[in-house]
A and B are shown apart, each in its own frame.
Chain A
Amino acid sequence: MTILLPTLLILLASPLTVGLVRKFKALFQNRRGASIFQPYWALLSLLRKDMTITRYSSWVFHTVPFVVLGSTIALAALVPAVPIAGTYGNVFLIAGVLALGSVFLVLGGMDTASTFGNMGSSREMSLIALVEPPLFIVFASLALFAGSFGMGDIIAHFTSATAGSHVLTAVTLIALFFVVLAENARYPVDNPATHLELTMVHEAMMLEYSGPYLALLEYASAIKLTVLGTLFVSLLLPSFAASGTVLALLFLGKLILAAFLVAFVESTIVKMRFYRMQEYMALAFLFALGGAALIILSKLSGAV
Chain B
Amino acid sequence: MDPLLISRLFLFALATPAFAALLGLLLRRVSWSNTLTQVLFALSGLVGLGAVALLALEMFAGSLSSLQIGGLGVLQPLGVPFLGIIYAGVLLTSFYSIAALAKYKEIYVLPWLNVASALFLIGMQAVVLAPSVLTFLLAWELMSIAAYFLVIADRTEDSLRAGFLYFVMTHLGFLALAAGLLILSGGNPLLSWAELAQGAATLGALPLSLAFALLFAGFGSKAGLVPLHQWLPYAHPQAPSGSSALLSGVMLKVAVFGFLQSLTFFPSLLFPWMLVVLLLGLVSAFFGALHAAVENDAKRLLAWSSIENMGLIFAGIALYFLTSGTAALAPLAPLFALFVMLHILNHFLFKSGLFMAAGVIQSATHTRDLDSLGGLARRWPLFSGVVLALSLAAAALPPLGTFFGEWALVQALALGLGAGDPASRFTALLVLSSVALVGGLAIFAFVKFFSLVFLGRARTEAAEHAGALSWILATPVAICALLSLGVGLVAFPLISGIPVGKLFGAEVVVAPGAGIDPTLVALILAAPALALWLITRVLRTKIRITDTWDCGAPLTPRMQYTSTGFAAPIRFFFRTLLGARREIITTPVVASNPWVTKKHLDWQIHSIWEVWLYKPLGHGIVRVAHSVRRLQSGVVQFYLLLVLLTLILTLFIAL
Contacts and interface: CB of A to CB of B under 8 A. Distances in A.
Interface string A120-134: 011101101111110
A51 B543 contact: yes
B450 interface: yes
A303 B263 CA distance: 41
Interface residues of B, number: 88
A269 interface: no
Contacts of A143: 414, 513-514
A130 B441 CA distance: 8
Nearest to A97: B398
A93 B517 CA distance: 10
A144 B418 contact: yes
Contacts of B549: 54, 114, 116, 207-208
Contacts of A103: 392, 395, 397, 443, 447
Interface string B523-548: 01111111111001001011111111
Interface stretch (B88-96, B116-124, B186-194, B430-438): B430-438
A55 B532 CA distance: 24
A216 B434 CA distance: 35
Given A55-B545, A87-B513, A93-B407, A137 B429 contact: yes
Contacts of A277: 569, 573
Contacts of A293: 426, 429
Q: Which of A73, A99, A111, A122 counts the most chain B CB atoms within 10 A? A: A122
B505 to A, nearest CB: 14
B384 interface: yes
Q: Which of B429, B434, B531 counts the most chain A CB atoms within 10 A? A: B429
The secondary-structure label for the interface of chain A is helix
B451 A107 contact: yes
A145 B569 CA distance: 35
Interface string A249-292: 00000000000000000000000001101100000010001001
B465 interface: no
A204 B448 CA distance: 17
B573 A278 contact: yes
Contact of B525 (A92, A100, A212, A292): A100
B375 A137 contact: no
Contact of B544 (A50, A121, A148): A50
A148 B451 CA distance: 37
Interface string B493-527: 00000000000000101001111100001001111
Nearest to B561: A118
A58 interface: yes
Interface stretch (A14-22, A31-39, A62-70, A186-194): A62-70
A114 B532 contact: no
Contacts of A296: 417-418, 422, 425-426, 429
Given A60-B377, A60-B455, A107-B455, A285 B433 contact: yes
A287 to B, nearest CB: 13
Nearest to A146: B513
B539 A212 contact: yes
Contacts of B447: 103, 106-107, 125
Contact of B569 (A70, A73, A123): A123
Contacts of A111: 377, 451, 455-456
A53 interface: yes
B594 interface: no
A299 B455 contact: no
B565 interface: yes
Nearest to A296: B425
Given A130-B573, A140-B417, A51 B544 contact: yes
B417 A274 contact: no
B433 A133 contact: yes
A300 B424 CA distance: 12
Interface string B545-579: 11111100001010111000111111011000000
A41 interface: no
B401 interface: no
Contacts of B513: 87, 143, 147-150, 153
B149 interface: no
B500 to A, nearest CB: 23
Interface string A214-249: 001000000000000000000000000000000000
10 contacts: A55-B546, A55-B547, A93-B407, A96-B403, A96-B407, A100-B392, A126-B444, A137-B432, A140-B410, A278-B573
| A-B pairs with lowest CB-CB distance, top 5 | A70-B529, A148-B513, A132-B440, A118-B561, A58-B377
Given A115-B560, A136-B435, 20 more contacts: A50-B541, A53-B543, A57-B455, A58-B381, A69-B529, A69-B532, A87-B516, A93-B516, A93-B521, A100-B392, A100-B525, A103-B395, A103-B397, A111-B456, A115-B559, A122-B565, A129-B293, A136-B414, A144-B418, A293-B429
Interface of A: 47, 49-60, 65-67, 69-71, 73-74, 77-78, 87, 90, 92-93, 96-97, 99-100, 103, 106-107, 110-116, 118-119, 121-123, 125-126, 128-133, 135-137, 139-141, 143-144, 147-150, 153, 207-208, 211-212, 216, 274-275, 277-278, 285, 289, 292-293, 295-297, 299-300
